[in-house]
């Protein structure tokens, strides 16, 4: 009986315990999102100089643990956020790789609801993503890849997959 009561009691006690999370400044609006906040100091940080140069990145994840947005805080020359959106097709594959998109302002690392709306300010009418065409099999091998930019839209790179037949592989000995 003790073998059953101890695990059940532990689960009941642990369900009431909450973790205390201290959000970085500016991310208070992102408390409902899953994210990883990274701060990299670009110069030596001492107690006498708390405002050392640093690069801050916030990577947001969806409910399945896949990245959905990367925000580089104040990374543009004008001091505005630069966002890389990540989207998936209905089968959960990443078939579009977007270029970094400078935003019109900064939210100090908070998630940007519509990062593609600022793309026309930076890139104009250019295609800002590379696209992959995958084969229709569980292997998800790449058949074609189209690079970003309007000039490359009609020049896809094709991939071929073949098998070796008998006597096609030669073995050389010395």
Return d(Cα 12, Cα 157) in angstroms, integer: 56
% of the chain beyond a pLDDT of 70: 84
What is the CA angle 99-105-111, rounded to 5? 65
Question: Could you tell me if residue 112 is inside a domain?
Answer: yes
The answer to whether 82 and 103 are in contact (CB under 8 A) is yes
Is residue 19 scored above 50 in pLDDT? no
Residues of the domain holding 124: 24-44+51-158
Question: Could you tell me if residue 61 is inside a domain?
Answer: yes
Q: How many structural domains compose the chain? A: 1
Over residues 100-118, the mean pLDDT reads: 90
Determine the 3-state secondary structure of 132 from DSSP.
strand
For every residue of 19-87, DSSP letters joined together read: ----PPTT-GGGTTSEEEEEEEESS--BTTBTT--EEEEEEEE-TTS-EEEEEEET-STTS--EEEEEE
Question: Could you tell me if residue 35 is inside a domain?
Answer: yes
Over residues 100-107, the mean pLDDT reads: 90
Mean pLDDT of the chain: 84
Question: Could you tell me if residue 5 is inside a domain?
Answer: no
Question: Could you tell me if residue 16 is inside a domain?
Answer: no
Question: Could you tell me if residue 108 is inside a domain?
Answer: yes
Question: Could you tell me if residue 103 is inside a domain?
Answer: yes
Retrieve residue 117's tokens: 């709306």
Question: Could you tell me if residue 2 is inside a domain?
Answer: no
Is residue 20 scored above 50 in pLDDT? no
């Amino acid at each position: 009986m003790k073998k059953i009561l101890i695990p059940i009691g532990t689960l009941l006690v642990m369900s009431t315990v909450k973790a205390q999370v201290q959000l970085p400044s500016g991310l208070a609006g992102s408390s409902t999102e899953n994210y990883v906040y990274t701060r990299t100091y670009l110069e030596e940080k001492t107690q006498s100089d708390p405002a050392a140069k640093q690069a801050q990145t916030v990577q947001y994840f969806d409910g399945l643990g896949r990245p959905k947005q990367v925000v580089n805080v104040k990374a543009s020359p004008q001091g505005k956020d630069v966002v890389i959106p990540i989207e998936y097709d209905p089968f959960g594959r990443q078939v579009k790789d977007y270029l970094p998109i400078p935003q019109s302002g900064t939210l100090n690392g908070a998630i940007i609801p519509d990062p593609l709306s600022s793309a026309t300010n930076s890139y104009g009418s250019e295609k800002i993503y590379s696209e992959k065409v995958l084969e229709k099999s569980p292997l998800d091998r790449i058949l074609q890849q189209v690079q970003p930019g309007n000039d490359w839209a009609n020049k896809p790179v094709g991939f071929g997959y073949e098998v070796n037949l008998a006597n096609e592989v030669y073995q050389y000995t010395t």
